[in-house]
Amino acid sequence: MALWPQIPLEDTFGDVLRKAMRGNRIDTHSLAQRTGIASSNIDAWLRDRGTATPDEARELARALSLDPEKLAVRAENGWHPPGIEVSDVRHHPQDPHPSNGYVFFLDGGQRAALIDPAGIPSNLLRILRDGAYHLQYILITHKHADHCDATADVAGAFPNAQIVMHAADAAAIGSLAQRALKVRDGEELPFGDNAAIRMLHTPGHTDGSSSYLFKSTLFTGDTLFAGSVGGAFGEATGYDDILNNVRSKIFTLPDDTVLMPGHGPPTTIELEKAHNPFF
Ligand SMILES: [Fe+2]
């Protein structure tokens, strides 16, 4: 359907470095000691000024439990996923947020589900009204405002749509949480006559972070980005949970599964296994 704009990776080399340092509880000083790299260089890279050589990137990776070869390629900005289109998935920006929203379709476009109602409501409603279809679900990946701050407006405009999210994040939508379906890990939502949407609970970015699988497309929210992972902001869950959930719940899906993240370009499981330095 809509063409995917060629957008850059969500995370720079500096972002990857920062997330891995925070996740491993290693500060600049101790990373410098472990790698023999000057603190001033590490600080500069964290601010996206300059980048490590491939050999320096391998040293950093070994100290941070990242994949050395994948991080070396990343330091040279040497990878971006190819343009990926899925015929029954439409992407839209969530202005003023830098996040991705999606609508996916069934039954020749007559039935649809929305991933993450966020952004300026009038813009979003104009996008959602572009087509005569029944919006069956409003699926929320997690509680951050750039993924759910337009929930009330969309739910008001589409009163028959079922709001779906994990209970741990439901407070973010206020009183609407009462009418939200609180899904659990592995639960399947019937979609049309013969299809289903499967929820995978993938906490760590937030405790209620959820990924939704429709056919061979997985909407990962801020759990997994092309070439990176989301920041660990959960209260009860964190960095190790993100990595473990990706390995056990996402990377166990078929390699050709398309991943549609909450930020940055789409990718596939095969590409992430080959290029994501966190794995
Ligand atoms: Fe987020």
Task: Report H helices in the chain.
Answer: 13-23, 28-35, 39-46, 54-64, 68-75, 121-128, 145-148, 151-157, 239-245, 269-275
Distance CA 21, CA 103 (A): 35
Instruction: Express each pLDDT in 21-61 by its tens digit.
Output: 999 999 999 999 999 999 999 999 999 999 999 999 999 99
Structure tokens at 125: 């409603």
Cβ contact 278:228 at 8 Å: yes
The residues that bridge with 101 in the sheet, in sequence order, are: 92
Q: How many A from CA of 129 to the centre of ligand 1?
A: 26
Instruction: Express each pLDDT in 238-252 by its tens digit.
Output: 999 999 999 999 999
Q: How many A from CA of 96 to the centre of ligand 1?
A: 15
* CATH superfamily ID and name for 89-275: Ribonuclease Z/Hydroxyacylglutathione hydrolase-like (3.60.15.10)
Q: How many A from CA of 205 to the centre of ligand 1?
A: 7
Give the 3-state secondary structure of residue 165: strand
- pLDDT category of residue 4 using cuts at 50, 70 and 90: low
Q: How many A from CA of 262 to the centre of ligand 1?
A: 8
Domain locations in the chain? 13-75, 89-275
Q: Which listed CATH number (2.30.31.70, 1.10.260.40, 3.40.50.2300, 1.10.357.10) goes with 13-75?
A: 1.10.260.40
Amino acid at 228: S
Cβ contact 198:186 at 8 Å: yes
Q: How many A from CA of 144 to the centre of ligand 1?
A: 5
Cβ contact 202:140 at 8 Å: no
Q: If we measure between CA atoms, which residue out of 200, 241, 202, 224 comes closest to residue 276? A: 224
* Average of per-residue pLDDT across 185-209: 97
User: With 70 as the cut, is the pLDDT of residue 1 above it?
Assistant: no
Amino acid at 28: T
Q: How many A from CA of 36 to the centre of ligand 1?
A: 34
Q: How many A from CA of 233 to the centre of ligand 1?
A: 8
Q: How many A from CA of 51 to the centre of ligand 1?
A: 26
